[in-house]
Amino acid sequence: MEGVVDPIVREMWTAIGGIDFCVTEFVRITSNLYPEKVFLRYAPELLQKSRTTSGVPVFTQLLGGDPRPMAENAHRVAEMGAYGIDLNFGCPAKTVNRHDGGAALLKNPDRIFRITEAVRKAVPKDKPVTVKVRLGFSDKSLSKDIAQAAECGGGHWLTVHARTKEEAYRPPAHWECIAQMKDVVSIPVIANGDIWTVEDFHRCQRTSQCEDVMIGRGLIAKPDLALQIKEQTEQKSFHDYEDFILQFITKSLAYRNESYAVQRTKQLTKLMARTYEESRGLFECIKRLKTLTEILKEVQAFFLKRQRPPSVESKSMSQRLATQAML
């Protein structure tokens, strides 16, 4: 996710567990063949066999409307060791669509076919080329053609964000429409859109008829959501994330610079507020702060003020006896 899932997020979130694959932010391809350093900026994991430090494979995502440069750039990043290439035909951003990329291509499934086919031919067979789409541009009338275009072009799997471009991110996601696309192809179809909880996951699986899902915002809001789904773990409390958030700040600073870390910390606490009311409180405390020193101080003070009551194990012997007596 552009501006959200950077290498730090991929590293920290996959370390929690439950995630099988990651995808980079999209690399916008115009007519140029990019030098390696451009791909390394988006996917530093290319230097470690295209995996996060916990070993989860990372796809490099490309976005563009012209088969030739898409194929050439895909070839280059494959040679650099990309685990696989994901093609983005779902981005609704106006600048991207005006320049003939992302969701604009949903209007013409034949172009999705030609780009996928060209990239497939340019990339060694052992590297998957996967396709990400929406249900359509302004309506869903071409959704089955879009799915078939991805399959015929050689797509290894198809991820469907269950909205049209016009629907942007407005709820609800139409998971039932994914089932109709799944009916007309034999490649795996991965359902995406509005999975915020374990219950959403099960409803999405049932409605879309898809075994697998891709989770974007929901996983940022609940970093252990994939683990909860996969291993039926209990949801962590916000307090469990104190070190995680402090690490996120430090790593974001080391990755780029102070203003990046400041902006990312505000973004994270705002997104986590979707799950945790406490995170809204923290976001409110830091949203106007300008320096990382101020933010770090505020984060530490926030968790200190709201320390959890000590657990039974950490209570003193006399307290424990008192508790037992009360029982």
Contact between 207 and ligand FMN by CB under 6 A: the answer reads no
Enumerate the H helices of 49-125 as residue ranges. 67-79, 94-98, 109-122
Contact between 4 and ligand FMN by CB under 6 A: the answer reads yes
Closest CB to ligand FMN among residues 65, 193: 193
- How far apart are CB 324 and ligand FMN at their closest, in Å? 46
Contact between 88 and ligand FMN by CB under 6 A: the answer reads yes
Q: Interhelix angle for 277-286 vs 292-305, to 10°?
A: 140
Question: Taking the alpha carbons of 4, 10, 16, 21 in that order, is the dihedral positive or negative?
Answer: positive
Q: Buried b / exposed e across 158-192, counting CB within 10 Å, b at 16+?
A: bbbbbbbbebeeeeebbbebbbbbbeebebebbbb
Closest CB to ligand FMN among residues 178, 296: 178
Site string (267-296) toward ligand FMN, x via CB under 6 A: ------------------------------
Closest CB to ligand FMN among residues 88, 208: 88
Is-contact 59 82, C-beta < 8 A?
yes
- How far apart are CB 319 and ligand FMN at their closest, in Å? 44
User: Which of the 8 DSSP states describes residue 327?
Assistant: -
Residue type, position 210, single letter = C
Contact between 35 and ligand FMN by CB under 6 A: the answer reads no
Residue type, position 244, single letter = F
Closest CA to 88 of 183, 1, 10: 1
Q: Return the residue of 58, 215, 261, 271 that touches ligand FMN, per CB under 6 A.
A: 215
Contact between 127 and ligand FMN by CB under 6 A: the answer reads no
Q: Return the residue of 18, 84, 153, 193 that touches ligand FMN, per CB under 6 A.
A: 193
Tell me, yes or no, if 91 is annotated catalytic.
yes
- The residues binding ligand FMN (CB under 6 A) are 1-4, 25-26, 61, 88, 90, 132, 161, 192-195, 215-218
Catalytic residue ranges: 91
